[in-house]
């Protein structure tokens, strides 16, 4: 049974000017321990999908969500707001694009850990939180955990903050980790290190990952399976290797062609719209259960 | 530079500014049409009496010489005598200043204690009725001068409902020994519970009238800053982690919003020093502002200069304290040297 | 510009502000026509009808010498708006020009101007106005001069801050490179970028000037009788609370309506044009 099962997910926003459809029936699934990538350009709807899984959009006025999102067999729509909130930070957690601005600038790292750990252990004290945080920081290869815990986010480098954020995300041993463009704000070498770290950790803990990105190279390294999303629709899905070596859909091919190559040559543009981009979805193999 | 260093630097600049203020006020006060000596002595004074007084006040000497003499006296702690009360100005100030300070301090507490929570409330329920209500009410409160609110409050609570006294600091039938000049403190020191309650009852309406526009301003500012903060990425992360909404409002979003608000709240607090004039007039509060109005109307030169200097000095001091507080609270500035 | 107007009128609060201010302006402009007793703006006494509560003859009651309060309030609006206009018309250009110069020219200009500004800004506005008024004879013209004299530093500080930020921008450097004169850079390049902040502040200041002037008159330092002024009317009436409540309440309400209207518009403008701190 899958950990996360999304079927026919639709999202529309009711605005003054009319109704805007953002997602047109997304389907994806993630099994336990699997690493799945959701790839697309900005505005394709990938970030929004992640936020729906977290239950963040359901309460937004004007947002109309249809379809099914099942986490551990339970349909999110059938849960009360309270129950959805209970999942966040405990069973499902998220890491964000820019680690430094995602951490609160006026609190040191230690109290921020306390808040996160309090999600599982509500009455945890700052001292206990520091102990557990120290162990967690060592897991992400931070050699001076005490110094980091007593620092403010702006005093630490981007790479350090990224590792802090990963440590926080995995602190409560979630079943599912949503990673929204992790490392995009960092320079390439640091990004590579961070991703290696993340890969190792999720393997150790058996955490499933939904990896959202527009960076194909990174996706190829990291994900077991890949979904390609274009304008709110899944256009291609399958094991990463299959999708990359034999992209079936016109959009996927255009996306791959647009990646800058080390061998030079100009950066080709992706055409804004092409009727072939609306071809039906191309599936590689059968997604396992 | 360290916080103390910054503080000292600010104090130095402040002194410079105060000098400038003293020169400005001195110049303005001395360059008047009419003769202060004659005004003070009344229309029946003889020419000789007027001349004597003018000599005593050094009114016929070059203005620069007058200024230097005044500053020399000032540095000795002598602000001259008031022609109105016939006492040293310093005595007058010592008597009237605590009343105003007590009023302003209580008003300041009200401003922060009511304004900030209202702002948080409005930001948290943005777009819904609590937000709209707070916005309209706070805009209303800043739209009328303090004396209008003083009159309204007086009409409703003192005359209408008769819950609170109309004027003054203390009821006539209560005796209190003045130690600090802060009647609340004095009452507590004397252990006189009845006097304490009486002072508090007298403080409510004037402090509220003074604080009202400050409350509105603080609420608007806090709300605006909180809303801006709510758009920041670290709030989204807090929500993604399922922190309770109350906790986000009170801790996660509030502290970063406080810092930009602080300077302006401090300015408003300092501005209350100026607006105290109006409130004291309506409520018959025997404070330095009322004294100031009287001496200005009577062209009592020494008293005018002395009063304005003291008020300006306090104003500047409050500004400095607020600036330093804002700097200290902002970890980014505080740790600028300790970059990791 | 048109877009700004559309947004302004779209927001109900700002629209209310526009309506209120429009009413006040109309009341002031058409006072001669609207006032039932236009002659009461002057020194008139009618001891038969003095101190009367609101009635069908005297919509807001009469004051202690028998003058119709409603008519006097209309004329008081006229005085207030004229005062506003004059004060801002002088203080704003002076303050803005000085601010741009201080910000762009730097050096002694900057140091000198900003210290002077500091001195003015370090005294609470009301105290400063009062002190100036205290040594001049309290007349309308003197009051206007006093308020103008203490108003310009706010604009100097505002424009100075913006100019300092803009100084390093690309378009300024470009103009310098092609040899534009300093005057051109200051007034043709930088100044237009300050306009939104200036306009927002002017709208909010219109209300604030009314507040300060009415406060001065309240203390007896501003407009003198028999000229009607909202502040002095409240002051006079305050002595006769609670019986003759209309004497202070109506002028107080009048102040509230005018300033509230200006504040609503100013707020709306600030939302549109973005805040400059």
Question: Which pLDDT score, from 0 to 100, does residue C90 have?
Answer: 92
Residues of A in contact with B255 (CB under 8 A): 106-107
**Quick one: average pLDDT of C27-50?**
77
- C207, C215, C220 ranked by CB distance to B297: nearest: C220
A139 is written with which tokens?
Answer: 């897991």
Cβ contact A77:A100 at 8 Å: no
Question: Which pLDDT score, from 0 to 100, does residue B130 have?
Answer: 87
Question: Which pLDDT score, from 0 to 100, does residue B337 have?
Answer: 43
> How much is the mean pLDDT over chain A?
84
**Quick one: average pLDDT of B7-15?**
77
Report percent pLDDT > 90 for chain A. Answer: 16
List the single residue in B with minimal CA-CA distance to C126.
B274
**Interchain proximity C135–B304, CB inside 8 Å:** yes
Q: What distance in Å separates the CA atoms of residue B332 and residue B323, rounded to the nearest whole number?
A: 15
**Interchain proximity B241–A93, CB inside 8 Å:** yes
Q: How far is CA B292 from CA A138, B180, B265, C127, C183, in A?
A: 66, 21, 25, 9, 44
**Quick one: average pLDDT of C244-269?**
86
Residues of B in contact with C114 (CB under 8 A): none
pLDDT digits 0-9 by tens, C145-182: 888 888 888 888 888 888 877 777 788 888 888 888 88
Let me know how long chain B is. Answer: 340
Chain C neighbors (3+ CB pairs < 8 Å) = B
B129 is written with which tokens?
Answer: 């009725």
**Residue, of C31 and B116, whose pLDDT is higher:** B116
**Interchain proximity B151–C235, CB inside 8 Å:** no
- Which residue of A54, A105, A112 is the best one to mutate when testing the B interface, meaning the one whose CB has the most B CBs within 10 A? A105
**Interchain proximity B143–C242, CB inside 8 Å:** no
Residue matched to tokens 């301090």: B105
Question: Which pLDDT score, from 0 to 100, does residue A94 have?
Answer: 92
- Which residue of B21, B84, B145 is the best one to mutate when testing the C interface, meaning the one whose CB has the most C CBs within 10 A? B145
**Interchain proximity A106–B255, CB inside 8 Å:** yes
pLDDT digits 0-9 by tens, B136-184: 898 888 888 888 888 888 888 877 777 777 777 777 767 777 777 777 7
pTM of the complete model: 0.73
CB contacts under 8 A, C 214-253 vs B, are 214-215, 218-221, 231, 234-235, 237-238, 241-242, 245, 248-249, 252
B69: Cβ contacts below 8 Å, ≥ 6 apart: B58, B61
Residues of B in contact with A98 (CB under 8 A): 233
The three-class DSSP label of residue A226 is strand
Q: Do chains B and C touch (3 or more CB pairs under 8 A)?
A: yes
B18 to chain C nearest CA, in Å?
7
What count of other Cβ atoms lies within 10 Å of the Cβ of residue B15?
Answer: 12
Question: Count of CB contacts below 8 A, B vs C?
Answer: 141
- B21, B32, B139 ranked by CB distance to C119: nearest: B21
pLDDT band for position A103 (50/70/90)? Answer: very high
ipTM of predicted assembly, 2 dp: 0.81
List the single residue in A with minimal CA-CA distance to B258.
A106
- A89, A102, A151 ranked by CB distance to B233: nearest: A102
pLDDT band for position B202 (50/70/90)? Answer: confident
**Quick one: average pLDDT of A284-288?**
55
pLDDT band for position A269 (50/70/90)? Answer: low
């Amino acid at each position: 049974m899958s950990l996360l099962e999304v079927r026919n997910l639709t999202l529309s926003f009711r605005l003054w000017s009319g109704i805007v459809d953002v997602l047109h029936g997304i389907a994806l699934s993630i099994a336990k321990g699997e690493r799945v990538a959701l790839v697309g350009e900005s505005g394709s709807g990938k970030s929004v999908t992640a936020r729906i899984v977290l239950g963040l959009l359901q309460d937004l006025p004007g947002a109309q969500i249809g379809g099914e999102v099942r986490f551990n067999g339970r349909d999110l729509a059938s849960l009360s707001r309270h129950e959805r909130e209970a999942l966040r930070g405990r069973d499902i957690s998220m890491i964000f694009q820019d680690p430094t601005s995602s951490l609160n600038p006026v609190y040191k790292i230690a109290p921020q850990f306390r808040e996160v750990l309090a999600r599982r252990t509500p009455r945890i004290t700052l001292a206990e939180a520091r102990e557990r945080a120290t162990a967690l920081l060592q897991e992400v290869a931070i050699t001076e955990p005490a110094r980091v815990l007593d620092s403010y986010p702006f005093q630490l480098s981007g790479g350090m903050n990224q590792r802090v954020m990963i440590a926080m995300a995995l602190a409560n041993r979630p079943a599912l980790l949503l990673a929204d463009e992790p490392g995009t704000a960092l320079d390439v070498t640091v990004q590579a290190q961070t991703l290696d770290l993340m890969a190792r950790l999720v393997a150790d803990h058996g955490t499933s990952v939904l990896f959202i990105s527009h960076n194909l190279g990174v996706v190829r390294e990291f994900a077991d399976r890949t979904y390609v999303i274009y304008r709110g629709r899944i256009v291609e899905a399958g094991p990463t290797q299959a999708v990359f070596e034999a992209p079936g859909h016109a959009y996927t091919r255009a996306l791959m062609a647009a990646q800058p190559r080390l061998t030079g040559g100009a950066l080709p543009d992706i055409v804004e719209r092409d009727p072939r981009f609306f071809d039906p979805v191309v599936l590689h193999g059968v997604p396992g259960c | 530079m360290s916080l103390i260093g910054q503080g000292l630097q600010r104090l130095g600049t402040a002194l410079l500014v105060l000098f400038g203020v003293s020169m400005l006020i001195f110049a303005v006060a001395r360059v008047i049409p009419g003769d202060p000596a004659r005004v003070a002595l009344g229309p029946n004074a003889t020419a000789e009496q007027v001349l004597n007084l003018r000599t005593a006040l050094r009114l016929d000497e070059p203005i620069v010489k007058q200024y230097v003499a005044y500053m020399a006296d000032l540095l000795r702690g002598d602000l001259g005598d008031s022609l109105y009360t016939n006492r040293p100005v310093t005595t007058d100030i010592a008597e009237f200043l605590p009343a105003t300070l007590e009023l302003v301090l209580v008003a300041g507490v009200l401003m922060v204690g009511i304004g900030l929570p209202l702002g948080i409330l409005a930001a948290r329920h943005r777009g819904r009725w609590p937000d709209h209500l707070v916005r309209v009410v706070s805009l209303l409160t800043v739209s009328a001068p303090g004396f209008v609110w003083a009159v309204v409050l007086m009409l409703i609570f003192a005359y209408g409902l008769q819950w609170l006294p109309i004027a003054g600091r203390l009821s006539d039938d209560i005796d209190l020994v003045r130690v600090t000049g802060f009647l609340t403190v004095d009452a507590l020191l004397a252990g006189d519970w009845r006097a304490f309650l009486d002072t508090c009852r007298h403080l409510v309406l004037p402090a509220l009238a003074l604080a009202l526009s400050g409350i509105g301003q603080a609420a608007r500012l806090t709300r605006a800053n909180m809303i801006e903060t709510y758009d920041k990425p670290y709030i989204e992360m807090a929500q993604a982690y399922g922190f309770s909404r109350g906790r986000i409002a009170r801790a996660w979003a509030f502290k970063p919003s406080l810092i930009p608000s602080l300077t302006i709240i401090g300015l408003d607090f300092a501005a209350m020093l100026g607006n105290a004039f109006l409130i004291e007039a309506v409520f018959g509060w025997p404070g330095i502002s009322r004294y100031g109005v009287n001496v200005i109307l009577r062209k009592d030169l020494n008293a005018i200069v002395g009063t304005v200097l003291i008020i300006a000095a306090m104003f500047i001091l409050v500004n400095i304290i607020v600036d330093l507080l804002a700097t200290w609270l902002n970890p980014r500035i505080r740790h600028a040297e300790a970059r990791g | 510009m048109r877009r700004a107007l559309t947004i302004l009128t779209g927001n109900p609060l700002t629209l209310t502000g526009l309506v209120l201010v429009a009413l006040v302006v109309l009341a002031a402009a058409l006072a001669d026509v609207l006032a039932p007793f236009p002659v009461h703006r002057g020194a008139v006494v009618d001891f038969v009808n003095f101190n009367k509560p609101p009635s069908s003859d005297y919509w807001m009651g009469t004051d202690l010498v028998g003058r119709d309060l409603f008519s006097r309030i209309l004329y008081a609006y006229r005085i207030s708006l004229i005062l506003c206009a004059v004060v801002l018309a002088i203080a704003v250009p002076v303050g803005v020009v000085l601010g741009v110069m201080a910000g762009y020219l730097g050096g002694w200009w900057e140091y000198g101007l900003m210290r002077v500004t500091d001195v003015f800004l370090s005294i609470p506005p009301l105290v400063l106005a009062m002190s100036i008024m205290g040594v001049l004879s309290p007349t309308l013209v003197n009051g206007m001069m006093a308020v103008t004299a203490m108003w310009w530093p706010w604009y100097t500080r505002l424009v100075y801050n913006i100019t300092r930020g803009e100084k390093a921008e690309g378009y300024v450097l470009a103009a310098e490179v092609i040899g534009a004169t300093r005057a051109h850079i200051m007034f043709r390049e930088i100044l237009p970028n300050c306009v939104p902040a200036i306009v927002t502040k002017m709208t909010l200041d219109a209300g604030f000037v009314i507040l300060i002037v009415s406060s001065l008159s309240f203390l007896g330092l501003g407009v003198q009788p028999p000229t009607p002024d909202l502040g002095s009317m409240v002051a006079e009436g305050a002595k006769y609370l609670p019986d003759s409540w209309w004497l202070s309440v109506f002028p107080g309400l009048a102040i509230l309506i005018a300033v509230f209207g200006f504040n609503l518009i100013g707020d709306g403008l600030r939302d549109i044009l973005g805040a400059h701190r």
